[in-house]
């Protein structure tokens, strides 16, 4: 069996092992496969003889799949699988799997890290000390941003799946009240969690945190209208999907002070484009889609990817997204 990894560097820049994958077949690992230069041709060249492709963000279109006659299996090294033409794969009998539930703890941790950075600006204040500002300050201490205590404040969690629930548990430990929106209210709310509709969350939350998948119905849900319903001084956190937010509207709200701060690990186009309005907005923290990237989390992802492939080889595939 020939296995081709099209873009292995993101998952494994060298600090975890491909050993379990390599034991399953003749494995070729490419750090990156540029699809914006030669496009489909390079992908086809590299995967022409592959029985198995593993890909994180390298897309596999209908055109590409039609030129890979030996391909039997695609393992997406992530949860989202919109990079694959699922219908084309199904028509050709190609099994496509993804990696669910590997990053719950890490993403919840990153959400709280972003929130705490908005509230305490640890990085900014540490940098100022090393630049000599404390040594040369006439007062005993100083702060460069308003500092915010979270105890007693309300976090509105939009999307109450595993990550939303994990985030709620940490926020509760900080003394926050939790309001959650979920299309399905069958999930168990905690002692300090109440379900609410979106308008209620927008109206009452001090912090709005996004944890929902991107759908056509919620694309751009954080926009001029929904922000207008929010409290003055609200904070917005996004570790879900960039297109949930209309970035021009958020930038305007940040610059006007309506939104006190935003912290985002995702944006609408990634890598972020140089003209993204959020890059010049006030009180905006942006990280490069790293909530999932702790070593422990990536090792867990690798193990699930190996489990998926092993089960496929055994004839009992799991985590299939195109049945």
Selected catalytic residue, list 133, 270, 273, 296: 270
Residue 30, exposed/middle/buried by CB under 10 A (0-12, 13-18, 19+)?
A: middle
CA distance 298 to 304: 10
**Does the active-site annotation cover 270?**
yes
Selected catalytic residue, list 241, 247, 298, 300: 241
Cβ neighbors of 175 (< 8 A, separation 6 or more) are: 150, 151, 152
Query: 123-136 as b/e, with b when 16 or more CB fall inside 10 Å?
Result: eebeebeeeeeeee
Contact 97, 319 (CB under 8 A): yes
- Least Cα distance to 156 among 211, 209, 111 occurs for 209
Cβ neighbors of 35 (< 8 A, separation 6 or more) are: 42, 43, 58, 59
**Does the active-site annotation cover 289?**
yes
**Residue 227 has which token pair?**
């922000």
Selected catalytic residue, list 48, 162, 203, 289: 289
Q: Please, which residues bridge with residue 52 across strands?
A: 3, 73
Contact 56, 32 (CB under 8 A): no
Catalytic sites, residue numbers? 241, 270, 289
């Amino acid at each position: 069996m020939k296995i081709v990894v099209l873009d292995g560097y993101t998952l494994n820049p060298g600090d975890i092992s491909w050993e379990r994958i390599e034991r399953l077949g003749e494995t070729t690992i490419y750090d990156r496969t540029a699809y914006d230069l030669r496009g489909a041709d390079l992908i086809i060249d590299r995967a022409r003889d592959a029985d198995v492709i593993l890909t994180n963000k390298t897309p596999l279109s209908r055109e590409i799949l039609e030129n890979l006659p030996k391909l039997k299996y695609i393992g997406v090294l992530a949860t989202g699988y919109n990079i694959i033409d699922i219908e084309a794969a199904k028509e050709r009998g190609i099994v496509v799997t993804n990696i669910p539930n590997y990053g719950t703890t890490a993403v919840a941790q990153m959400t709280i890290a972003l929130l705490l950075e908005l509230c305490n600006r640890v990085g900014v204040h540490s940098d100022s000390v090393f630049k000599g500002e404390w040594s040369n300050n006439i007062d005993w201490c100083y702060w460069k941003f308003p500092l915010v205590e979270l105890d007693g404040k309300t976090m509105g969690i939009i999307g109450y799946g595993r990550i939303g629930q994990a985030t709620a548990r940490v926020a509760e430990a900080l003394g926050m009240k939790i309001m959650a929106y979920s299309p399905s209210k069958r999930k168990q709310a905690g002692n300090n969690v109440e379900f609410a509709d979106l308008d209620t969350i927008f109206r009452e939350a001090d912090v709005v945190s996004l944890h929902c998948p991107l759908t056509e119905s919620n694309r751009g849900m954080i926009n001029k209208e929904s922000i207008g319903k929010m409290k003055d001084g609200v904070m917005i956190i996004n570790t879900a999907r960039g297109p949930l937010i209309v970035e021009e509207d958020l930038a305007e709200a940040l610059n006007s002070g309506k939104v006190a701060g935003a912290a985002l690990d995702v944006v609408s186009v990634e890598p972020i484009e140089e003209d993204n309005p959020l890059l010049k907005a006030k009180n905006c923290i942006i990280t490069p889609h790293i909530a999932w990237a702790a070593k422990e989390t990536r090792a867990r992802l690798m193990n699930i990817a190996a489990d998926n492939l092993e089960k496929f080889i055994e004839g009992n595939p799991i985590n299939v997204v195109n049945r």
